[in-house]
Structure 1
Amino acid sequence: MSDESYILGCFASTNMGDEQGALFRTYIWGEKGIGETLKKLSYENYGKDMKRILFQFYVNPIPYELQNLKEIENYRKKEKSIGIPIIVNEENFFSKSEPERVDFIKISILQKLDLLSEVVKKKKLDTNIESLKTDFQGLFD
């Protein structure tokens, strides 16, 4: 599979020099991070209308950012992509144990895929979100 055929991607927005941001990034791109694992899922297996689902992790966002984040972004037809924000903060991540942190990431992604299924229905896209969710869960069994 080419590096561009994966359907799930991650992005992290952190404050420069922020220790918590650096710590969080290890859960995505570190040695045991989920970033490489997610690349095992190719968009070609789920339909033609969605090529990239980008999970945008906002680590300790400032109030202005929080006010302007949508639960899910608009589908970008030209790019066949969608961005999905996930808030990461002391309460839901940094105050937790390592297994709870990993669970938070997995559960957050699954919850956001549920939201995405509504967009898929509304926009009449052919993306099979249920199959994607099943395959996602299978990556971590």
Structure 2
Amino acid sequence: MEDNKSNVFGCFVSCPATIYDENQTEQQKIAEQKLLDQICEDFRSYIWDDKGINIPLKKLHWKNYGNDLELALFQFYVNPIPYLLQHLKEIESYRKNEKAIGIPIIVNDENFFNKTEEGRYEFLKQSILQKMDLLTEVVKKRKLDTNMDLLKSDLEKVLQEFCIK
């Protein structure tokens, strides 16, 4: 069994919140909730199913890149409510005690759901790679011992191999 605690990257998915209109009937609320549940389930398959982006990420272990960063958590926010959207940072602060950092990625109709399957995987790949530049800035600013050049290079390789399949 693979040791998930050694993976330098992890994934988290936040599904859309349900905000009901006071004029909605109970049936409309149930239908809306089913739709939101399906949207979330569809997205999760791109992360954790057999063809999920989490598979290549598991190949990279923090011990190969230094000791100060043990987890970079990609936080996928699926159709976040406006309030949450306004308060999300491009990248969270480094948590020294956990040796971790959260990396929010917004997922919506425009950048993901309205695309082809190939376009969806390309969005995930490009979003992750773009966030690596922000992570590099944090690592430099905090003077962490993480070898970001090697980590980015290895990440690009595993994502490229994965997206070719």
Smaller-chain TM-score range? over 0.9
* Other-structure match for 1:88: 107
* Other-structure match for 2:72: 53
Displaced runs of 4 or more, over 2 A: none
CA–CA distance in structure 1, aligned partners of residues 45 and 14 of structure 2: 13
SS of the residue aligned with 1:53? strand
CA–CA distance in structure 2, aligned partners of residues 3 and 67 of structure 1: 32
Structure 1: where are the runs of 5+ without partners?
Answer: none
Q: How far is 1:2 from its partner?
A: 2.0
SS of the residue aligned with 2:63? helix
SS of the residue aligned with 2:106? strand
The structure richer in helix per residue is 2
Residues 1:6 and 2:25 are matched in the alignment: no
* 1:57-101 residue CA offsets vs partner (Å, 9 max, x unmatched): 000000011011011000000000000000000000001111110
Identity in percent: 58
CA–CA distance in structure 1, aligned partners of residues 93 and 148 of structure 2: 17
Q: Cα RMSD (Å) of the superposition?
A: 1.1
* Other-structure match for 1:130: 149
Aligned residue among 35, 46, 49 for 2:54: 35
Q: Normalising by the residue count of structure 1, what TM-score does the alignment of the two structures yield? A: 0.96
The one-letter amino acid of 2:63's match is: E
CA–CA distance in structure 1, aligned partners of residues 93 and 137 of structure 2: 12
CA–CA distance in structure 1, aligned partners of residues 134 and 6 of structure 2: 23
The one-letter amino acid of 1:104's match is: F
CA–CA distance in structure 1, aligned partners of residues 132 and 46 of structure 2: 19
SS of the residue aligned with 2:4? coil
The one-letter amino acid of 1:41's match is: L
* Other-structure match for 1:78: 97
The one-letter amino acid of 2:152's match is: K
Q: Say which one has the larger Rg.
A: 2
* 1:33-67 residue CA offsets vs partner (Å, 9 max, x unmatched): 01132111000001110000000000000001101
